[in-house]
Amino acid sequence: MKFATKVIHAGIEPDPSTGAIMTPIFQTSTYVQAAPGAHKGYEYARTQNPTRSVLEKNLAALENGTDAICFASGLAAQDAVMKLLKSGDEVLAVNDLYGGSYRQMVRVWGQWGLKSRFVDMYDASKVEREISPDTKLLWLETPTNPMLNIVDIEAVCAVAKRRGILVCVDNTFASPYLQNPLDLGADIVLHSATKYIGGHSDVVHGCLVVKDASLAERLHFLQNASGAVPGPQDCFLILRGIKTLHLRVQRACENAAVIAEYLAAHPKVGKVYWPGFHDHRNHDIARRQMRMFGAMVSFDLKDNTVENATKVLRGTHLFSLAESLGGVESLIGHPASMTHASIPREERLKVGLTDSLIRLSVGVEDADDLVADLEGALGGGNCQNLALEQDSF
Ligand SMILES: *Cc1c(COP(=O)(O)O)cnc(C)c1O
Protein backbone atom coordinates (compact mmCIF):
# COMPACT_ATOMS: atom_id res chain seq x y z
CA MET A 1 0.00 0.00 0.00
CA LYS A 2 1.18 3.52 -0.77
CA PHE A 3 1.07 6.22 1.89
CA ALA A 4 -2.23 7.87 0.88
CA THR A 5 -3.95 4.48 1.03
CA LYS A 6 -2.33 3.51 4.31
CA VAL A 7 -3.62 6.57 6.17
CA ILE A 8 -7.18 5.53 5.29
CA HIS A 9 -6.95 1.74 5.44
CA ALA A 10 -3.89 0.32 7.25
CA GLY A 11 -5.03 -1.66 10.29
CA ILE A 12 -8.57 -0.32 9.98
CA GLU A 13 -11.50 -2.69 9.42
CA PRO A 14 -15.23 -2.06 9.82
CA ASP A 15 -16.34 -2.92 13.37
CA PRO A 16 -17.19 -6.67 13.29
CA SER A 17 -20.19 -6.38 15.62
CA THR A 18 -22.03 -3.58 13.76
CA GLY A 19 -20.25 -2.83 10.49
CA ALA A 20 -19.50 0.74 11.67
CA ILE A 21 -16.97 2.04 9.16
CA MET A 22 -15.32 4.28 11.74
CA THR A 23 -13.43 2.66 14.61
CA PRO A 24 -15.70 2.89 17.69
CA ILE A 25 -14.57 4.62 20.88
CA PHE A 26 -14.37 1.71 23.32
CA GLN A 27 -14.95 3.70 26.47
CA THR A 28 -14.48 0.88 28.96
CA SER A 29 -12.00 0.10 31.71
CA THR A 30 -12.45 -3.68 31.78
CA TYR A 31 -13.74 -6.61 29.70
CA VAL A 32 -15.98 -9.49 30.79
CA GLN A 33 -14.37 -12.92 30.80
CA ALA A 34 -16.36 -16.10 30.10
CA ALA A 35 -14.28 -18.03 32.64
CA PRO A 36 -11.09 -17.08 34.48
CA GLY A 37 -8.50 -16.39 31.78
CA ALA A 38 -11.00 -17.00 28.95
CA HIS A 39 -11.22 -13.62 27.23
CA LYS A 40 -11.14 -12.07 23.76
CA GLY A 41 -7.62 -10.65 24.01
CA TYR A 42 -8.69 -7.76 26.22
CA GLU A 43 -8.50 -7.87 30.01
CA TYR A 44 -7.94 -4.36 31.37
CA ALA A 45 -7.86 -1.08 29.46
CA ARG A 46 -4.44 0.15 30.58
CA THR A 47 -3.04 -2.97 28.93
CA GLN A 48 -5.24 -3.11 25.82
CA ASN A 49 -8.03 -1.06 24.29
CA PRO A 50 -9.50 -1.84 20.85
CA THR A 51 -9.56 1.83 19.72
CA ARG A 52 -5.92 2.16 20.71
CA SER A 53 -5.00 -1.15 19.04
CA VAL A 54 -6.37 0.05 15.70
CA LEU A 55 -4.44 3.31 16.00
CA GLU A 56 -1.25 1.43 16.90
CA LYS A 57 -1.59 -0.80 13.81
CA ASN A 58 -2.14 2.23 11.62
CA LEU A 59 0.82 4.16 13.03
CA ALA A 60 3.12 1.15 12.68
CA ALA A 61 2.19 1.00 8.98
CA LEU A 62 2.76 4.73 8.41
CA GLU A 63 6.34 4.47 9.72
CA ASN A 64 7.05 1.11 8.07
CA GLY A 65 7.47 -0.49 11.49
CA THR A 66 6.08 -3.66 13.01
CA ASP A 67 4.75 -2.20 16.26
CA ALA A 68 3.50 1.13 17.54
CA ILE A 69 3.04 1.89 21.22
CA CYS A 70 0.79 4.85 22.11
CA PHE A 71 1.08 7.19 25.08
CA ALA A 72 -0.81 10.04 26.68
CA SER A 73 1.68 12.56 25.23
CA GLY A 74 4.91 12.83 23.29
CA LEU A 75 6.83 13.33 26.51
CA ALA A 76 5.26 10.19 28.01
CA ALA A 77 6.57 8.33 24.95
CA GLN A 78 10.03 9.80 25.57
CA ASP A 79 9.76 8.75 29.22
CA ALA A 80 9.32 5.12 28.11
CA VAL A 81 12.37 5.29 25.83
CA MET A 82 14.50 6.71 28.64
CA LYS A 83 13.41 3.82 30.87
CA LEU A 84 15.17 1.43 28.50
CA LEU A 85 18.39 2.82 30.01
CA LYS A 86 19.84 2.55 33.48
CA SER A 87 21.74 4.72 35.89
CA GLY A 88 25.21 5.61 34.56
CA ASP A 89 24.16 5.32 30.90
CA GLU A 90 24.44 8.38 28.68
CA VAL A 91 22.14 9.84 26.04
CA LEU A 92 23.86 11.78 23.29
CA ALA A 93 21.23 14.16 21.94
CA VAL A 94 21.14 16.73 19.17
CA ASN A 95 21.85 20.16 20.68
CA ASP A 96 18.84 21.90 19.17
CA LEU A 97 15.83 20.00 20.39
CA TYR A 98 12.36 20.37 21.84
CA GLY A 99 12.63 22.20 25.17
CA GLY A 100 10.48 19.66 27.00
CA SER A 101 12.69 16.79 25.81
CA TYR A 102 15.74 18.62 27.12
CA ARG A 103 13.99 19.33 30.44
CA GLN A 104 13.02 15.68 30.95
CA MET A 105 16.52 14.43 30.16
CA VAL A 106 18.32 16.91 32.39
CA ARG A 107 15.96 17.61 35.25
CA VAL A 108 14.08 14.33 35.60
CA TRP A 109 16.47 11.61 34.41
CA GLY A 110 19.54 13.51 35.61
CA GLN A 111 18.33 12.90 39.18
CA TRP A 112 18.42 9.16 38.56
CA GLY A 113 22.00 9.14 37.35
CA LEU A 114 21.18 9.07 33.66
CA LYS A 115 23.51 11.43 31.84
CA SER A 116 22.60 13.54 28.80
CA ARG A 117 24.97 15.40 26.53
CA PHE A 118 23.92 17.73 23.71
CA VAL A 119 25.99 17.99 20.55
CA ASP A 120 25.80 19.45 17.07
CA MET A 121 24.84 16.55 14.78
CA TYR A 122 25.33 18.43 11.55
CA ASP A 123 28.19 16.10 10.70
CA ALA A 124 27.91 12.34 11.38
CA SER A 125 31.67 11.93 11.83
CA LYS A 126 31.54 14.51 14.60
CA VAL A 127 28.82 12.46 16.29
CA GLU A 128 31.17 9.46 16.19
CA ARG A 129 33.89 11.41 17.99
CA GLU A 130 31.45 12.46 20.72
CA ILE A 131 30.39 8.92 21.60
CA SER A 132 31.70 7.74 24.98
CA PRO A 133 31.78 4.22 26.47
CA ASP A 134 28.64 5.11 28.45
CA THR A 135 26.66 6.28 25.41
CA LYS A 136 23.70 3.91 25.04
CA LEU A 137 21.22 6.04 23.11
CA LEU A 138 21.44 8.65 20.35
CA TRP A 139 18.54 11.09 20.35
CA LEU A 140 17.88 12.81 17.04
CA GLU A 141 15.42 15.44 16.02
CA THR A 142 15.38 16.49 12.37
CA PRO A 143 14.45 19.05 11.21
CA THR A 144 15.57 20.48 14.54
CA ASN A 145 13.50 22.79 16.66
CA PRO A 146 13.53 25.75 16.14
CA MET A 147 16.66 26.21 13.98
CA LEU A 148 15.54 23.70 11.32
CA ASN A 149 18.90 22.06 10.96
CA ILE A 150 18.96 18.70 9.25
CA VAL A 151 20.65 15.60 10.69
CA ASP A 152 21.71 12.87 8.27
CA ILE A 153 19.70 10.01 9.81
CA GLU A 154 21.24 7.29 7.67
CA ALA A 155 24.84 8.35 8.37
CA VAL A 156 24.29 8.74 12.12
CA CYS A 157 22.49 5.38 12.33
CA ALA A 158 25.43 3.71 10.55
CA VAL A 159 27.78 5.12 13.21
CA ALA A 160 25.47 3.90 16.00
CA LYS A 161 25.05 0.45 14.49
CA ARG A 162 28.82 -0.13 14.41
CA ARG A 163 28.87 0.44 18.16
CA GLY A 164 25.60 -1.23 19.14
CA ILE A 165 23.99 2.03 20.27
CA LEU A 166 20.23 2.54 20.04
CA VAL A 167 18.93 5.43 17.91
CA CYS A 168 15.64 7.20 18.61
CA VAL A 169 14.45 9.80 16.10
CA ASP A 170 11.86 12.35 17.17
CA ASN A 171 10.03 12.61 13.84
CA THR A 172 7.41 15.10 15.03
CA PHE A 173 8.51 18.01 12.80
CA ALA A 174 8.62 15.97 9.61
CA SER A 175 5.63 13.64 10.20
CA PRO A 176 5.58 10.15 8.68
CA TYR A 177 4.46 11.65 5.38
CA LEU A 178 7.77 13.43 4.87
CA GLN A 179 10.30 11.11 6.46
CA ASN A 180 10.52 7.50 7.72
CA PRO A 181 13.55 7.08 10.02
CA LEU A 182 13.14 3.29 10.48
CA ASP A 183 13.87 2.91 6.75
CA LEU A 184 17.10 4.85 7.30
CA GLY A 185 18.33 2.62 10.14
CA ALA A 186 16.74 4.12 13.27
CA ASP A 187 15.55 1.74 16.01
CA ILE A 188 12.76 3.88 17.45
CA VAL A 189 10.64 6.67 15.96
CA LEU A 190 8.90 9.03 18.36
CA HIS A 191 6.01 11.32 17.52
CA SER A 192 4.25 13.93 19.48
CA ALA A 193 0.99 13.08 17.68
CA THR A 194 -0.33 16.29 19.22
CA LYS A 195 1.24 17.98 16.18
CA TYR A 196 0.93 16.90 12.50
CA ILE A 197 -0.44 13.40 13.10
CA GLY A 198 -3.46 14.66 15.05
CA GLY A 199 -3.32 17.86 13.05
CA HIS A 200 -6.29 19.71 14.52
CA SER A 201 -4.92 21.10 17.79
CA ASP A 202 -7.53 19.25 19.81
CA VAL A 203 -5.62 16.42 21.48
CA VAL A 204 -2.31 15.68 23.23
CA HIS A 205 -0.90 12.29 22.30
CA GLY A 206 2.38 10.47 21.66
CA CYS A 207 3.65 7.28 20.10
CA LEU A 208 6.71 5.16 19.47
CA VAL A 209 7.18 2.96 16.42
CA VAL A 210 9.74 0.15 16.19
CA LYS A 211 10.60 -2.72 13.87
CA ASP A 212 12.25 -5.11 16.32
CA ALA A 213 10.17 -7.64 18.27
CA SER A 214 12.20 -7.59 21.49
CA LEU A 215 12.29 -3.79 21.59
CA ALA A 216 8.53 -3.76 20.99
CA GLU A 217 8.03 -6.17 23.86
CA ARG A 218 10.10 -4.05 26.27
CA LEU A 219 8.23 -0.89 25.30
CA HIS A 220 4.83 -2.57 25.60
CA PHE A 221 5.92 -3.72 29.05
CA LEU A 222 6.87 -0.14 30.00
CA GLN A 223 3.63 1.25 28.55
CA ASN A 224 1.64 -1.08 30.78
CA ALA A 225 3.92 -0.98 33.81
CA SER A 226 4.25 2.83 33.96
CA GLY A 227 0.74 3.45 32.65
CA ALA A 228 0.81 6.75 30.73
CA VAL A 229 -1.72 5.46 28.20
CA PRO A 230 -4.02 7.60 26.04
CA GLY A 231 -7.78 7.36 26.48
CA PRO A 232 -9.94 5.88 23.70
CA GLN A 233 -11.50 9.25 22.79
CA ASP A 234 -8.03 10.68 22.16
CA CYS A 235 -7.09 7.64 20.06
CA PHE A 236 -10.25 8.17 18.01
CA LEU A 237 -9.37 11.82 17.39
CA ILE A 238 -5.86 10.89 16.29
CA LEU A 239 -7.25 8.21 13.94
CA ARG A 240 -9.61 10.79 12.50
CA GLY A 241 -6.79 13.30 12.02
CA ILE A 242 -4.53 10.77 10.31
CA LYS A 243 -6.97 10.26 7.44
CA THR A 244 -5.96 13.63 5.98
CA LEU A 245 -2.31 13.65 7.11
CA HIS A 246 -0.89 13.53 3.58
CA LEU A 247 -3.21 16.26 2.29
CA ARG A 248 -2.58 18.58 5.22
CA VAL A 249 1.18 18.18 5.30
CA GLN A 250 1.51 18.57 1.54
CA ARG A 251 -0.47 21.81 1.52
CA ALA A 252 1.30 23.15 4.61
CA CYS A 253 4.69 22.47 2.98
CA GLU A 254 3.62 24.25 -0.20
CA ASN A 255 2.49 27.25 1.84
CA ALA A 256 5.74 27.21 3.87
CA ALA A 257 7.78 27.33 0.66
CA VAL A 258 5.90 30.47 -0.44
CA ILE A 259 6.34 32.08 2.96
CA ALA A 260 10.04 31.22 3.26
CA GLU A 261 10.71 32.84 -0.14
CA TYR A 262 8.64 35.87 0.78
CA LEU A 263 10.49 36.35 4.09
CA ALA A 264 13.91 35.89 2.49
CA ALA A 265 13.14 38.77 0.12
CA HIS A 266 11.74 41.08 2.82
CA PRO A 267 13.94 44.10 3.64
CA LYS A 268 13.30 43.89 7.38
CA VAL A 269 13.94 40.17 7.74
CA GLY A 270 17.38 38.83 8.67
CA LYS A 271 18.17 35.15 8.34
CA VAL A 272 15.41 32.75 7.33
CA TYR A 273 15.77 29.12 8.44
CA TRP A 274 14.08 26.60 6.15
CA PRO A 275 15.64 23.38 4.78
CA GLY A 276 14.29 24.02 1.29
CA PHE A 277 16.76 26.81 0.54
CA HIS A 278 19.63 25.71 -1.71
CA ASP A 279 22.12 27.38 0.60
CA HIS A 280 20.77 25.65 3.73
CA ARG A 281 23.82 23.82 5.07
CA ASN A 282 22.23 20.35 4.86
CA HIS A 283 19.86 21.02 1.97
CA ASP A 284 21.10 18.00 0.01
CA ILE A 285 20.43 15.67 2.93
CA ALA A 286 16.96 17.15 3.40
CA ARG A 287 16.32 16.53 -0.29
CA ARG A 288 17.42 12.92 0.09
CA GLN A 289 15.68 11.94 3.30
CA MET A 290 12.49 14.03 3.18
CA ARG A 291 9.64 14.05 0.69
CA MET A 292 9.15 17.83 1.04
CA PHE A 293 10.94 20.39 3.21
CA GLY A 294 8.45 20.72 6.04
CA ALA A 295 6.09 23.47 7.11
CA MET A 296 8.13 25.06 9.89
CA VAL A 297 9.96 28.31 9.12
CA SER A 298 12.04 30.35 11.60
CA PHE A 299 13.43 33.82 11.03
CA ASP A 300 15.25 36.69 12.66
CA LEU A 301 14.76 40.39 12.08
CA LYS A 302 17.57 42.54 10.73
CA ASP A 303 16.99 44.96 13.56
CA ASN A 304 17.34 42.17 15.99
CA THR A 305 15.66 43.36 19.19
CA VAL A 306 13.06 41.70 21.38
CA GLU A 307 10.89 44.82 20.95
CA ASN A 308 10.80 44.45 17.17
CA ALA A 309 10.10 40.74 17.42
CA THR A 310 7.28 41.45 19.86
CA LYS A 311 5.70 43.87 17.37
CA VAL A 312 5.62 41.14 14.74
CA LEU A 313 4.37 38.54 17.23
CA ARG A 314 1.51 40.83 18.26
CA GLY A 315 0.80 42.08 14.77
CA THR A 316 -0.48 38.99 12.98
CA HIS A 317 -4.15 38.02 12.82
CA LEU A 318 -4.22 34.72 10.96
CA PHE A 319 -1.02 33.46 12.60
CA SER A 320 -2.06 32.96 16.23
CA LEU A 321 0.51 33.51 18.95
CA ALA A 322 0.70 30.09 20.58
CA GLU A 323 2.96 27.18 21.44
CA SER A 324 2.65 23.92 19.51
CA LEU A 325 2.64 23.29 15.77
CA GLY A 326 1.33 21.01 13.08
CA GLY A 327 -2.35 21.98 13.19
CA VAL A 328 -4.41 23.13 10.23
CA GLU A 329 -4.17 26.72 11.48
CA SER A 330 -0.99 28.78 11.29
CA LEU A 331 0.81 29.64 14.51
CA ILE A 332 3.53 32.12 15.35
CA GLY A 333 5.79 31.68 18.35
CA HIS A 334 8.73 33.12 20.24
CA PRO A 335 10.94 30.13 21.19
CA ALA A 336 13.09 32.05 23.71
CA SER A 337 10.12 32.83 25.93
CA MET A 338 7.76 30.00 24.95
CA THR A 339 8.74 26.53 23.70
CA HIS A 340 12.44 26.83 24.62
CA ALA A 341 12.27 28.86 27.83
CA SER A 342 13.34 25.75 29.79
CA ILE A 343 16.70 25.72 27.98
CA PRO A 344 19.30 28.05 29.56
CA ARG A 345 19.97 31.23 27.54
CA GLU A 346 23.68 30.38 26.99
CA GLU A 347 22.64 27.01 25.51
CA ARG A 348 20.06 28.72 23.30
CA LEU A 349 22.51 31.28 21.97
CA LYS A 350 25.05 28.55 21.13
CA VAL A 351 22.70 27.15 18.50
CA GLY A 352 21.66 30.58 17.16
CA LEU A 353 18.39 30.76 19.04
CA THR A 354 18.44 34.51 19.69
CA ASP A 355 15.98 36.40 21.87
CA SER A 356 14.27 37.70 18.75
CA LEU A 357 13.94 34.50 16.75
CA ILE A 358 10.40 33.94 15.47
CA ARG A 359 9.05 30.49 14.61
CA LEU A 360 6.14 29.84 12.27
CA SER A 361 4.06 26.71 12.03
CA VAL A 362 2.52 27.21 8.63
CA GLY A 363 -1.01 25.86 8.31
CA VAL A 364 -3.19 24.94 5.36
CA GLU A 365 -4.91 28.29 4.80
CA ASP A 366 -4.56 30.21 1.54
CA ALA A 367 -0.91 31.17 1.00
CA ASP A 368 -1.75 34.69 -0.24
CA ASP A 369 -3.68 35.43 2.92
CA LEU A 370 -0.83 34.16 5.07
CA VAL A 371 1.72 36.30 3.24
CA ALA A 372 -0.56 39.35 3.56
CA ASP A 373 -0.87 38.70 7.29
CA LEU A 374 2.91 38.65 7.72
CA GLU A 375 3.23 41.71 5.53
CA GLY A 376 0.85 43.56 7.82
CA ALA A 377 2.79 42.52 10.91
CA LEU A 378 6.23 43.28 9.47
CA GLY A 379 5.05 46.64 8.23
CA GLY A 380 7.00 46.29 5.03
CA GLY A 381 4.68 48.59 3.14
CA ASN A 382 5.22 46.95 -0.22
CA CYS A 383 2.06 44.87 -0.31
CA GLN A 384 -0.52 46.82 -2.32
CA ASN A 385 -3.74 45.13 -1.40
CA LEU A 386 -3.94 43.06 1.72
CA ALA A 387 -5.99 40.02 0.82
CA LEU A 388 -7.33 40.09 4.37
CA GLU A 389 -9.26 43.25 3.61
CA GLN A 390 -10.80 41.79 0.50
CA ASP A 391 -13.78 39.57 0.57
CA SER A 392 -11.90 36.87 -1.23
CA PHE A 393 -13.53 33.68 0.00
C1 LIG B 1 5.55 18.86 21.22
C2 LIG B 1 6.79 18.08 21.01
C3 LIG B 1 7.16 17.06 21.89
C4 LIG B 1 6.37 16.74 23.14
O5 LIG B 1 5.14 16.21 22.85
P6 LIG B 1 3.83 16.41 23.78
O7 LIG B 1 2.79 15.70 23.02
O8 LIG B 1 3.61 17.86 23.93
O9 LIG B 1 4.17 15.77 25.09
C10 LIG B 1 8.31 16.35 21.61
N11 LIG B 1 9.07 16.64 20.53
C12 LIG B 1 8.73 17.61 19.67
C13 LIG B 1 9.60 17.86 18.49
C14 LIG B 1 7.60 18.37 19.89
O15 LIG B 1 7.29 19.36 19.03
How many Å apart are CA 59 and CA 53, to the nearest integer? 10
Task: Please check whether the two domains, 3-242 and 245-385, share a CATH topology.
Answer: no
Model pLDDT, residue 344: 86
CB 347 within 8 A of CB 118: yes
Residue 150 binned pLDDT confidence (cut-offs 50, 70, 90): very high
Site residues for ligand 1, CB cut-off 6 Å:
73-75, 98, 100-101, 141, 145, 170, 172-173, 192, 194-195, 204, 206
Mean pLDDT of 186-199: 98
Return the ligand 1 atom nearest residue 77 CA: 9
The answer to whether 170 is a known catalytic residue is yes
Instruction: Say what the pLDDT of residue 348 is.
Output: 86
Query: If pLDDT is split at 50, 70 and 90, which confidence band does 380 have?
Result: low
Distance, CA of 46 to CA of 108 (rounded, Å): 24
**pLDDT surpasses 80 at 385:** no
Please state the rounded mean pLDDT for residues 249-260: 98
Of residues 383 and 316, more confidently modeled: 316
Asked whether the whole model's pTM tops 0.75, one would answer: yes
> How close is the Cα of 202 to the center of ligand 1, in Å?
14
Mean pLDDT of 180-186: 98
pLDDT of residue 387: 39
Residue identifier of the C-alpha nearest atom 2 of ligand 1: 192
79 is catalytic: no
pLDDT digits (tens, 9 = 90+) for 313-327: 999 999 999 999 999
- Report how far ligand 1's centroid is from the alpha carbon of 142 (Å): 13
Domain ranges of the chain: 3-242, 245-385
Fold entry, domain 3-242: Aspartate Aminotransferase; domain 2 (3.40.640)
Q: Provide the pLDDT for residue 386.
A: 39
Note whether 311 and 338 are within 8 A (CB): no
The DSSP-derived string for 322-369 is: -S---SSS-EEE-TTTTTTTTS-HHHHHHTT--TT-EEEE--SS-HHH
Mean pLDDT over the full length of the chain = 94
Weakest mean pLDDT among 153-157, 252-256, 316-320, 336-340: 336-340
Is the CATH code 3.30.390.50 the one for domain 245-385?
A: no
| 61-107 residue pLDDT tens | 999 999 999 999 999 999 999 999 999 999 999 998 898 999 999 99
**Euclidean distance between CA atoms 195 and 72, whole angstroms:** 13
